[in-house]
Amino acid sequence: MALAGEIVVNVIAKTKGYSRGLDRARGETTKFKSSITSSMGSLAKWSGALAGVTGVIVGVRRAVQSMRESFERLDSIAKTADRLGLTGTQLATLQKAAKLSGANVETLNMGLQRMTRRIAEAAQGTGEAKNAIAELGLSAQSLVNMGPYEAFLRIADAMGDVTTQADKVRLAAKLFDSEGVKLVNTLGTGSDKLREMQRETMKLGGALQKDMLSAVEKSNDAWTDFHENWAMFKDSVWAKLAPLIEGAGKLLGWLAKQLADTGNEVKEVARVNGQVLPNAMEKSAKAMAAQTREAIRNAQAMSKASRAARERAAEAAKLRKEAEQTTHTSRAIERQQFAGAAMRGTTAAYSAEIEARATRQRELAIEKAQLEEQQEINEGIAQINDNLARMNRGGVALRKVSLAPGGVG
């Protein structure tokens, strides 16, 4: 049982520091909770105003996002148009037609770029598009002179005269490359429809003049420059904070290791307890059972001694009664002897002697009976005291056994 108490003390000692840390953490958490509760009361007063401000911020953010999307799209149109030799309105019209016919903007832009290059090659008598242009009944040099937009419209009208879809795909591949085959449906729109789409774009305010697109490009470039500078600034800040972050990381790592070591110690103690405590508890249970049986035997012995004492007391009473009867008999004999002595003339002397002898016999008998009774009583009391001492020892042992598993001191 001492081993079990030592193990419990060991567990408490190893986890005491950990428990103090948890207590401090709980105290700080309680303070933080109180602070938050107090702050929430103040924040509730401003919730209406904050909701309004939040709505304004969300609206402004959406407006800025919409502006950014428009700027990015217009900037892309401006840069691509400059690269291909188109106006912004022309490129926007062709991109719209491509989307409506199932192609995407990237396919159209790449197709126009390859068409422009292959027409120029054909005008010099080379390239893959030379025979395709001739087959369509067009002049490569004329196409070069009229510019990419008008050249695309002329090719669209010429493709309308091709009778089979296979030939349209073949000729489109020669003019726009394999990816340009996706523009067959766009070419099928025809020049008239494409010019009508251009006029609609201009009516809706979509006439993208060069100076307008230039302003958008500059604005977008400024925005991009701001983002790049901001990114560099953030990188610089984080770089300067790197040592601090490294130190915090090391501190967190150390704390994690300490917690892990404490957990391992507790786990090891639990493992040892799992091996030692069952044996100790089994031994304690056996000892407690043996002490209980001993206490029962002591109680039975005490009961038996009590019965023996009562029997001896009864025997002493019986002896006293017999002594009294003997005294009565002796008196009767003495009276007879006194009568005889009277007859012989010696009544007084003999009577005195007989009386003295009878008194002595009674005293001896009573004294003997008292001594025997006192001795028996003393023996019974000694036996009872011995049994009580044994029971007390058994009770002390039982209390030690019952208190030992939880005792730590």
CA distance 155 to 142: 12
13-27: pLDDT as tens digits: 555 555 565 566 566
pLDDT classification of 409: cutoffs 50, 70, 90:
very low
Contact between 134 and 206 (Cβ < 8 Å): no
Token pair for residue 218?
A: 């500059």
Domain assignment of residue 230, yes or no: no
* 190 lies in the same domain as 299: no
CA distance 34 to 256: 28
Mean pLDDT of the 221-250 span: 77
CA distance 152 to 155: 5
Radius of gyration of the chain (CA): 62
Look at residue 109 in the predicted model and tell me its pLDDT. 95
Number of alpha carbons in the 13 Å side-chain half-sphere of residue 218: 6
Domain assignment of residue 253, yes or no: no
205 DSSP assignment: I
CA distance 363 to 358: 9
* 179 lies in the same domain as 302: no
* 200 lies in the same domain as 309: no
Look at residue 111 in the predicted model and tell me its pLDDT. 95
Contact between 292 and 394 (Cβ < 8 Å): yes
CA of 329: how far to CAs of 87, 268, 333, in Å?
A: 164, 90, 6
Contact between 97 and 194 (Cβ < 8 Å): yes
* 77 lies in the same domain as 186: yes
Mean pLDDT of the 111-127 span: 95
**pLDDT more than 70, % of the chain:** 65
Is residue 6 over pLDDT 70?
no
Mean pLDDT of the 328-333 span: 72
Domain assignment of residue 196, yes or no: yes
Domain assignment of residue 199, yes or no: yes
pLDDT classification of 127: cutoffs 50, 70, 90:
very high
**Helix, strand, or coil (residue 63):** helix
CA distance 409 to 393: 22
Is residue 4 over pLDDT 80?
no
CA distance 272 to 294: 33
Is residue 129 over pLDDT 80?
yes
pLDDT classification of 356: cutoffs 50, 70, 90:
confident
Residue position matching structure tokens 């251009």? 198
* 280 lies in the same domain as 184: no
Identify which has the larger pLDDT, 330 or 134.
134
Q: How far is CA 78 from the centre of its chain?
A: 55
Q: Which amino acid is at 372?
A: E
Q: Which of 171, 186, 208 is the last residue of a domain?
A: 208
CA distance 311 to 316: 9
Token pair for residue 192?
A: 């008239």
203 DSSP assignment: I
Identify which has the larger pLDDT, 226 or 90.
90
Domain assignment of residue 243, yes or no: no
Domain assignment of residue 240, yes or no: no
pLDDT classification of 154: cutoffs 50, 70, 90:
very high
CA distance 16 to 13: 5
CA distance 310 to 321: 17
Is residue 402 over pLDDT 50?
yes
CA distance 72 to 80: 12
Look at residue 8 in the predicted model and tell me its pLDDT. 45
Q: How far is CA 133 from the centre of its chain?
A: 72
Is residue 153 over pLDDT 80?
yes
Mean pLDDT of the 209-228 span: 61
* 204 lies in the same domain as 339: no
Is residue 187 over pLDDT 70?
yes
Look at residue 388 in the predicted model and tell me its pLDDT. 80
Provide the domain count of the chain. 2
Domain assignment of residue 99, yes or no: yes
DSSP assignment of 100-143 equals HTT--HHHHHHHHHHHHHHHHHHHTT-STHHHHHHHTT--HHHH
**Residue 140: how many other CB atoms lie within 10 Å:** 22
* 204 lies in the same domain as 312: no
* 294 lies in the same domain as 378: yes
Residues 174, 176, 177, 178, Cα dihedral to 10°? -110
* 285 lies in the same domain as 198: no
Identify which has the larger pLDDT, 384 or 115.
115
* 67 lies in the same domain as 204: yes
Token pair for residue 49?
A: 């105003």
30-51: pLDDT as tens digits: 665 576 566 566 656 656 655 6
Look at residue 202 in the predicted model and tell me its pLDDT. 80
Residue numbers of the domain that contains 81: 63-208
CA distance 143 to 138: 8
| DSSP tally for the chain: helices H, then strands E | 11, 0
Is residue 103 over pLDDT 90?
yes
User: What is the rounded average pLDDT for all residues in the chain?
Assistant: 77
Euclidean distance between the first and the last CA atom of the chain, given in angstroms as a whole number: 12
Q: Which amino acid is at 122?
A: A
Look at residue 7 in the predicted model and tell me its pLDDT. 47
Contact between 271 and 20 (Cβ < 8 Å): no
DSSP assignment of 210-222 equals HHHHHHHHHHHHH
Is residue 209 over pLDDT 60?
no
* 91 lies in the same domain as 192: yes
Look at residue 42 in the predicted model and tell me its pLDDT. 60
378-387: pLDDT as tens digits: 887 788 788 7
Residues in the chain: 409
Domain assignment of residue 140, yes or no: yes
Q: Which of 181, 208, 235 is the last residue of a domain?
A: 208
Contact between 93 and 202 (Cβ < 8 Å): no
* 161 lies in the same domain as 282: no
**Least confident among 76-80, 116-120, 223-227, 255-259:** 223-227
Q: Which of 178, 208, 238 is the last residue of a domain?
A: 208
Mean pLDDT of the 184-194 span: 93
